[in-house]
Chain A
């Protein structure tokens, strides 16, 4: 059974950098993309970006200038950095596995999720 366990700082001041890590247990990073998704309090879900085991990344253009997603295959972990945070970045951040159901076409969905980490940005 695949499990994702995430951790990182929960309280930042404006302009600081968010740093989160997600460890994957019970499975390999290989063969999948791995995503970060966030959810502001009481609001919907926003996809931040993804990375595969080779280090190929895709980012949401709305956050691309401030986001870096990296991967450490030796530790079976991947990480998120979000720079210059503001109050608008206050949210629960989730890591998730992107499953590719290939049937001649690539159908992607998020099948395993981390437990979530609440980031609060406040001066």
Chain B
């Protein structure tokens, strides 16, 4: 299985901050990398697919980059509704696997 490792696990931040979450794959996965946001008690929501493509309806302050083994999710200016958990997920091969998550918390 391809292991996905996110850092940090927890990220205290303030409204207006620029934040970056990283995701590393245990082997090269090209651009087969997706990002999801999950708010408490809700299903995950797709933000970014193929490493850098913004899902319809997702604000442009979210962006993704990377290829191979190293990827980043950046939020350019944090809004109150962005405090949530974020997960990366590889779709290079089954079993599809997720990172352990990054919890974005209010500082």
Which residues of A are at the interface with B, using a C-beta cutoff of 8 A? 35, 43-47, 50, 58-62, 94, 96, 101, 107-111, 113-116
CB nearest to A50 among chain B residues: B94
19 inter-chain pairs at a CB distance below 8 angstroms, sorted by A residue, are A35-B96, A44-B87, A45-B89, A45-B101, A60-B95, A61-B95, A96-B43, A107-B32, A107-B91, A108-B32, A109-B34, A109-B49, A109-B89, A110-B34, A110-B36, A110-B44, A110-B46, A114-B43, A115-B43
Partner of B94 from the list A58, A94, A114 (CB cut-off 8 Å) is A58
Interface of B is mostly: loop
Q: Is B71 an interface residue (CB 8 A)?
A: no
Q: Name which residue of chain A comes closest to B94, CB basis.
A: A58
Contacts of B45 in A (CB 8 A): 113
Among B36, B44, B99, the one with the most A-chain Cβ atoms within 10 Å of its Cβ is B44
How distant is the Cα of A62 from the Cα of B96 in the complex, in angstroms? 12
- A62 to B87 CA separation, bound complex (whole angstroms): 21
**CA distance in complex: A62, B95 (Å):** 9
Q: Report chain A residues within 8 Å CB of B7.
A: none
Residues of A within 8 A of B55 (CB): 111
Could you tell me the distance between the alpha carbons of A116 and B41 in the complex, rounded to whole angstroms?
9
Nearest residue in A to B100 (C-beta to C-beta)?
A: A44
The answer to whether A109 and B46 have CB atoms under 8 Å apart is yes
| Residues from chain B with Cβ under 8 Å of A110 in the complex | 34, 36, 44, 46, 89
What chain A residues lie within 8 Å of B100 (beta carbons)?
43-44
